[in-house]
A and B are shown apart, each in its own frame.
Chain A
Amino acid sequence: MDGMAGTSSKLTWAVHISAVLLVALWLFPTVGLLVSSFRTADQISSSGWWASVFSSEQRTVIRTVDPDDFRIEENSAFAVTGDLFAADEEKEVIAWGTSSREVEAYAPGDLVDLGDGESITVDSEGTYSWKGNEEQLSGRGKRVFATVVSPPDFTTDNYERVLFSGDSTDGMAKTFFNTLTVTIPATIIPIVIAAFAAYALAWMQFPGRAILIASVVGLLVVPLQLALIPLLQFHNNIGIGKGYLGTWMAHTGFGLPLAVYLLRNYMVGLPRDIIENAKVDGATDFQIFTKIIIPLSFPAMASFAIFQFLWTWNDLLVARVFLIDATGETTVMTNQIVELLGTRGGNWEILATAAFVSIAVPLIVFFTMQRYLVRGLLAGSVK
């Protein structure tokens, strides 16, 4: 609508800026988790994740090596040389000092006279050289107050630990496959059952059809909380107890109203001519359904499949009630994360990585199939 009468350029700018702010606000939390999952525990606890993307500036106090052990004698004078940082650290000194009152007194490379012939110099890479007589260079190492810039530093160790270590408390590999095992049958089976029912509700004439459609609409909003205890009792009575089978059945039952509703709405909109022509040509209902309706309804089935996939993948309640038994062998990812929140509340590197592993798959599905998701949402709620 840019350039339309009534919209000034000032307003256009305001729109752009507000949109940028809104998007940034919505993206910020997820980015925080992603960045944190690539940092070490020390990094996470020493600075906020937003600081890690830039080079960070820190003030530290570092002691030189012990002069009694490392001093070298040259021409009756003594010298201690070394590096403030470990060999693999890419840090840079931008200012330094020798007293806590003046921590940024000198620039890198300055040779500082400490009186009576004692001197010290520190260059930008952290190498230092401390010179003096025997008495001056004894006792403990000299304190150097350094202002240090460290480059952004990321690691994939957390992912290795969470995915490949096989650790039973932190490891997510097993729960990943458990979640997948719950999700796939729980997504496919309701589609098949619902497709037949939706065809009957859309294209067959029989008494009671209107009531059935109305009950599907009603069941759409029944909270699944009501079903927990009665179904658990039912599963125990028929002997399947807690396990995958019961979970698949529960997800199928809970997903069916939406599946029937979405597919029926879509099938009603298919062109009547095709179906009637096929009937005239002698096709049975079963043939019409498999040869015509199913291929044409693919978009609606994809929409529902995405919903059901996201819902079953992200579910915690159904898994806790119908799947996870005392052995904990069948824990799903959401439950594992809740457990980690309890046992490892402070270990953000593990939590962030585990959480990101669990949301990665839904995010991939979301970004690749967004079209179908939006279509399903519009069909499912705008009446």
Chain B
Amino acid sequence: MHPALQGLITIIIGVGGCLGYFYFSNQILDKVIFPPKKNDAGRNINRANAVRPWLFLLPAIIALGLYLAYPVFSTLWLSLTDRSQDNAFVGLANYNQMFNEPKFWEAMVNNMLWLIVVPAVSTAFGLLSAQLTDRIAWGNIAKSIIFMPMAISFVGAAVIFKLIYDARPVDQAQIGVLNAVWLQFEGGTGSFLFLKLLPGIIVLSFAGIVSYIGWLTLKPLLPGETNQGGGLMAIARLIAVVITAYIIVRSLLLAVGIMSSSLPYGEPQQWLTLPFWNNFFLMIVLIWIQTGFAMVILSAALRGIPEETVEAAIVDGANPFQVFFGIKVPQITGTIVVVWTTITLVVLKIFDIVFAMTNGQWETQVLANYMFDKLFRANDWGVGSASAIIIMLLVSPILIWNVYNARKEMQ
């Protein structure tokens, strides 16, 4: 049968089946099982109404249970068994094996790097573009264009950026933009300004922002301040402070490294094969895609800020930057957190970009691609499932936080 025909039939069966199921199950419930007749009419109506919600929910519950809830437990079980030993229970052996593989740790470290850089940069660019486009007449067109990469597949974006990163031998014309720009630098003052000072300043200001966040986190624990949330919260804060301290140290070292490095001017570079830096060239693809999302959400939040607060600040003599950072940003912190976590979720599952551009070579492995490698190339379901569980563990704080918020909202 032709797939298109099969598709049409599936639509008809799927949609018709759902509608038919809902219609007839309601009919049967009302007319046959609990008919509102004779002396227990009232009781039967109540019974029917108690059952009805479950009729409406049943297909969704089956689909969700089978396609999302069951696999979580099944994968957990698979990660504890060995396929080559007839699915025997092997305890944590798969995890042990995985933790001893350098490729896994490479994926872990890279994923953490992605986790720090991509949400931060996307949110920052999103905030910047939201603020800029809200203030100009052609803002809607600008928004559309920045938002557009959202519609482009990760694979399509991979091709787009592979063209940008393309390298030719030095005696041929460069067809990749990045190398064409790179060859303009010759090691003079301009090169120092753009390739050392500017990146150095960016990394240093990133370290500055992280230390500010770290300070805000630490502050409630200092003597003389009131710490809300008890001991568990205090431990969480301490862990966060340790992580931020680590990030600060690393970025300071990175800044020093950038400033003191000697760059191979005049040689076209294979950007995707430069260890460590190629991760950033892959991240740019995701940042390019996600900035539009951040912009749309943050722009709506910025427009929701009460005018009076902004006007009051201006009357008090605040300059535009003070208005933005002192008045506007604090009022949309909640939205920034939502954008940040949403992008974090995308980053944790990132697969297509790495798969299409480097396939984890040249030290660019990430968890989802590592998992795909293990599951479908090495056919090692145990280790593959174990790495899937690691992704699940990384996601679960956000899951718990979302559920907690949703429940709070409903009360």
Give me the interface of A with B, judged by CB distance under 8 Å.
1-2, 4-7, 11-12, 15-16, 18-19, 22-23, 26-30, 32-33, 36, 44-50, 177-178, 180-181, 184-185, 188-189, 192-194, 196-197, 199-201, 204-206, 209-210, 212-231, 233-234, 244-245, 248-250, 252-254, 256-257, 260, 284-286, 289, 310, 313-317, 320-321, 330, 334, 337-338, 341, 348, 351-352, 354-355, 358-359, 362-363, 365-367, 370, 373-374, 377-378, 381-383
CB-based contact A181/B7 at 8 Å = yes
CB-based contact B18/A310 at 8 Å = no
Across-interface contacts of B64 in A (CB, < 8 A): 215-216, 219, 253, 256-257
State whether the Cβ of B134 lies closer than 8 Å to any Cβ in chain A: yes
Across-interface contacts of A44 in B (CB, < 8 A): 175
- Most chain A CB inside 10 Å of its own CB: which residue of B71, B136, B164, B345: B71
Cα distance, A229 to B382, chains bound together (Å): 10
CB-based contact B10/A253 at 8 Å = no
Select B399's contact among A15, A185, A218, A334, beta carbons within 8 Å: A218
Q: For residue B144, which residue of chain A has the nearest CB?
A: A370
Cα distance, A217 to B405, chains bound together (Å): 10
CB-based contact A248/B10 at 8 Å = yes
Cα distance, A193 to B65, chains bound together (Å): 14
CB-based contact B4/A177 at 8 Å = yes
Across-interface contacts of A230 in B (CB, < 8 A): 70-71, 74-75, 78
State whether the Cβ of B93 lies closer than 8 Å to any Cβ in chain A: no
Select A358's contact among B63, B156, B314, beta carbons within 8 Å: B156
Tell me the smallest distance from the CB of B355 to a CB of chain A, in Å.
Answer: 7
A-B CB proximity, top 6 nearest: A253-B67, A314-B153, A197-B60, A366-B151, A230-B74, A200-B56
14 additional contacts (CB under 8 A) given A223-B388, A316-B355, A317-B372: A19-B142, A29-B157, A193-B18, A193-B63, A206-B54, A212-B57, A223-B348, A226-B389, A244-B3, A257-B68, A351-B159, A359-B151, A363-B152, A383-B338
Select A382's contact among B133, B166, B301, B391, beta carbons within 8 Å: B301
Tell me the smallest distance from the CB of B120 to a CB of chain A, in Å.
Answer: 17
State whether the Cβ of B207 lies closer than 8 Å to any Cβ in chain A: no
Q: For residue A354, which residue of chain B has the nearest CB?
A: B159
Binary A-proximity of B183-206 (CB < 8 A = 1, otherwise 0) = 000000000000000000000000
CB-based contact B67/A366 at 8 Å = no
User: Inter-chain contact count A-B, CB under 8 Å?
Assistant: 347
Select B22's contact among A11, A32, A196, A217, beta carbons within 8 Å: A196
Select B145's contact among A26, A180, A201, A338, beta carbons within 8 Å: A26
Instruction: Knowing A229-B384, A286-B23, A381-B297, say if A30 contacts B148 (CB, 8 Å).
Output: yes
CB-based contact B142/A226 at 8 Å = no
CB-based contact A284/B395 at 8 Å = no
CB-based contact B175/A15 at 8 Å = no
Across-interface contacts of A214 in B (CB, < 8 A): 403, 406-407
Give 12 pairs: A residue, B residue, CB < 8 Å, sorted on A: A1-B135, A5-B315, A15-B135, A22-B125, A29-B164, A48-B177, A193-B18, A214-B403, A226-B75, A314-B152, A358-B155, A378-B297
29-74 of chain B: CB within 8 A of chain A: 30, 50, 52-54, 56-57, 59-61, 63-64, 66-72, 74
